[in-house]
Amino acid sequence: MKKIEAKNCLSIDVGTDQIEYLLSRQARNCMQVRKWEIIKLDNEEGDRYLSIELALKYIKSKIYRPGTLVKVSFFSPDINIRQVVVPKLKQADLENSILYKNKTELTNFTEDAVWKYEVLETFKENNLEKVRLLVTVIPADVIDIYLSIFKRSGLKPDSLIPRPFAYISAYRKMLKDYSNDVVIDINTDTTQVCFFVNGKLMYIRNFAIGANNLEKTLSRSGNGESDDSVIALKPHDEEQQSEETSESNIRERLFKKIEILKSKRNPLLQVLLGEILRSIEFFQDGREKYPIQNVYLTGAGLKIDAVFPYLKNHLNYPVYRLSPRFMPEEIMVSQFVEYFAALGAGLYQEKKMNMVSSEFKINELFKKLSVLLVAFFFLLVPLVGYQTHLKNTQVSNLHQQYDLLEKQYDMLNPTERIYEQINRQIKQIEARKKLLVSPVKSTPELLRVMKFFSNEVPPEIRLTSLRFNLVTTGKQQKNNKKKATSPENNYKYRISMIGQVVDDYFKADVQLINFLNKLNDLKFFKSISLVKKRKQAENKLFEFELEAFL
């Protein structure tokens, strides 16, 4: 079943000065690697992105086949991955809190930056429930640059993730039992220290020490491990001669030998060890409940013989080499240590950290469809032209036959032709009449009321509210009983008006009475009455409410 579901997968890790790729058959989380290679980038001219594009074009022409999934991980020093602790909130409030922290704590954060988060743990502090988050912030221009490079090279990535998330996939695949582990990837130019707790990435730190620097310094100073091993041991030859030599001479000779050994010591290995220890100390500070159990080393730095034994001897933890294996047992494992990130890129299945947006995929799909459509139309146009020429010839022949028959018919029956012509003219006139009469409709009552008030309301009266309601039969009967009106007073609409007298507060009563008398004299409404009025002497406000019926 897995063989049926398997797909070709090209996983690529883009580093600072080299690209590693794996060509494999993949079914879910299983990979069968068939080809692998490391391509060194030519950075002599200073254009790193051009070198990446040329390498990708080589992979596109020599390795890639149509239908192959392309999964990419990349390294950028501009990517910020850090822990954030906030109170436990709803999702919308939590995201707003993270956005605020990004704006205030990151100097180069912009609105178009892409940021994601993952909940690491929930805990209580001072009776307040909090969450610890791993927040990843990637500048939008970094994503645009890599997408444009892949677009120009012809390789369309199905996934594009930051390198630390490729580490997560490879770590979970290669280790069955998760614990509190440290994974140290010594690349060509940088070293990344990752702390995992139960399979989750808790902390990551980068520093600019890589295999290239170590190889240069080790070639000048010799094997750093042997020197340090000698320094760590006691001078047994001096102890054996302690009975024959005085104590002062022994001390002098020991100091001289230590000075000679220090001059041969590789300083960069010590710096690398110091940075690793500082990273471990920072992570362990205040996190005693996560004691480190194992340290795993991977990356190009392990190809240097002195690196692994030196770190194994000086780190106070169990240290192991972490490397995938693509060949039988007799092949040295250290040959594949540089493919750890590429392996993780191919195994990554989640969509959360995929920087290839759905819009990018849709645009690329539309471009492919447009190319196919253009090719289709190029093939279709000659065929349509030929078919059109044949049909035009047939249509012209039919038109000639029709004109001949029509002339014959006009000669044989002129009266019927005149009748049909007049009948068509009558239909056209009726259609024109309907078109002209259709806008003429009876004026609705609401429009009549609005026109009436527009013409008859004096300037000292201001209407602030007008409600136009249909009076039902039950309400009408109740109204008639309440007002004791005659049966012929059949109301259909009720109009409620609220207004103000805005001219003179002291003459407001007189002006309202004049307005009511005017409305009664016009006999536009069947009934009109004053419902209530209200005065506010302090604001000189006079309000009233009228009710009228139609």
State residue 219's pLDDT score: 61
471 with 539, same domain?
yes
pLDDT bucket at 429, cuts 50 / 70 / 90: very high
pLDDT bucket at 10, cuts 50 / 70 / 90: very high
422 with 453, same domain?
no
Contact yes or no for 121/131 (Cβ under 8 A): yes
Percent of all residues in the chain with a pLDDT value above 90, rounded to a whole number: 19
pLDDT bucket at 244, cuts 50 / 70 / 90: very low
451 with 540, same domain?
yes
390 with 485, same domain?
no
Residue 290 pLDDT > 70, yes or no?
Answer: yes
- How far is residue 165 from each of residues 8, 159, 194, 267, 362, measured CA to CA in Å? 21, 12, 11, 32, 25
Percent of all residues in the chain with a pLDDT value above 70, rounded to a whole number: 83
pTM of the full structure: 0.60
Neighbours of 540 (CB within 10 A): 13
State residue 224's pLDDT score: 46
- Residue 379 domain flag: yes
Strand partners, 501: 461
State residue 243's pLDDT score: 47
- How far is residue 294 from each of residues 121, 315, 318, measured CA to CA in Å? 21, 10, 5
State residue 232's pLDDT score: 36
pLDDT bucket at 332, cuts 50 / 70 / 90: low
- DSSP output for 216-283: HHHHHH--HHHHHHHHHS--HHHHHTTTTS-HHHHHHHHHHHHHHHHHHS-HHHHHHHHHHHHHHHHH
**What is the spatial distance between Cα 93 and Cα 99, in angstroms, rounded to a whole number?**
10
- Give the count of domains, the chain: 4
pLDDT bucket at 364, cuts 50 / 70 / 90: low
State residue 391's pLDDT score: 85
Residue 236 pLDDT > 50, yes or no?
Answer: no
The per-residue pLDDT of the chain, averaged, comes to 81
Cα-based torsion angle of the residue sequence 291, 292, 294, 297 in order, rounded to the nearest 10 degrees: 170
433 with 467, same domain?
no
| pLDDT per position as a tens digit, 490-537 | 788 899 999 998 888 888 888 889 999 999 999 889 889 999 988 888
State residue 252's pLDDT score: 77
423 with 453, same domain?
no
The domain that contains 109 carries what CATH number? Answer: 3.30.1490
Strand partners, 543: 500, 534
540 with 451, same domain?
yes
State residue 356's pLDDT score: 84
Where is average pLDDT lowest: 186-190, 249-253, 275-279, 534-538? 249-253
**What is the spatial distance between Cα 131 and Cα 94, in angstroms, rounded to a whole number?**
10
pLDDT bucket at 233, cuts 50 / 70 / 90: very low
**What is the spatial distance between Cα 115 and Cα 106, in angstroms, rounded to a whole number?**
12
pLDDT bucket at 208, cuts 50 / 70 / 90: confident
Residue 400 pLDDT > 70, yes or no?
Answer: yes
Average pLDDT value for residue range 449-455:
88
- DSSP output for 187-202: -SS-EEEEEEETTEEE
pLDDT bucket at 185, cuts 50 / 70 / 90: very high
542 with 467, same domain?
yes
From 217, 243, 265, the end of a domain falls on 265
458 with 512, same domain?
yes
State residue 361's pLDDT score: 60
State residue 230's pLDDT score: 34
449 with 431, same domain?
no
Contact yes or no for 214/231 (Cβ under 8 A): no
Neighbours of 298 (CB within 10 A): 27
**What is the spatial distance between Cα 84 and Cα 120, in angstroms, rounded to a whole number?**
10
**What is the spatial distance between Cα 510 and Cα 506, in angstroms, rounded to a whole number?**
9
Query: Of residues 262 and 46, which shows the higher confidence score?
Result: 46
**What is the spatial distance between Cα 302 and Cα 220, in angstroms, rounded to a whole number?**
18
476 with 526, same domain?
yes
Residue 225 pLDDT > 50, yes or no?
Answer: no
State residue 1's pLDDT score: 39
The domain that contains 499 carries what CATH number? Answer: 3.30.70
Structure tokens at 46: 């200073």
Residue 120 pLDDT > 90, yes or no?
Answer: no
From 138, 158, 181, the end of a domain falls on 138
- Residue 65 domain flag: no
Average pLDDT value for residue range 331-335:
62
- Residue 117 domain flag: yes
Nearest to 539 by CA among 496, 503, 505: 505
pLDDT bucket at 379, cuts 50 / 70 / 90: confident
- Residue 467 domain flag: yes
State residue 494's pLDDT score: 92
State the residue range of the domain holding 132. 80-138
540 with 457, same domain?
yes
Residue 91, SS3 per DSSP: helix
- Residue 466 domain flag: yes
State residue 226's pLDDT score: 43
- Residue 288 domain flag: no
**What is the spatial distance between Cα 157 and Cα 171, in angstroms, rounded to a whole number?**
23
From 213, 240, 265, the end of a domain falls on 265
**What is the spatial distance between Cα 372 and Cα 376, in angstroms, rounded to a whole number?**
6
- Residue 46 domain flag: no
- Residue 156 domain flag: no
Neighbours of 46 (CB within 10 A): 7
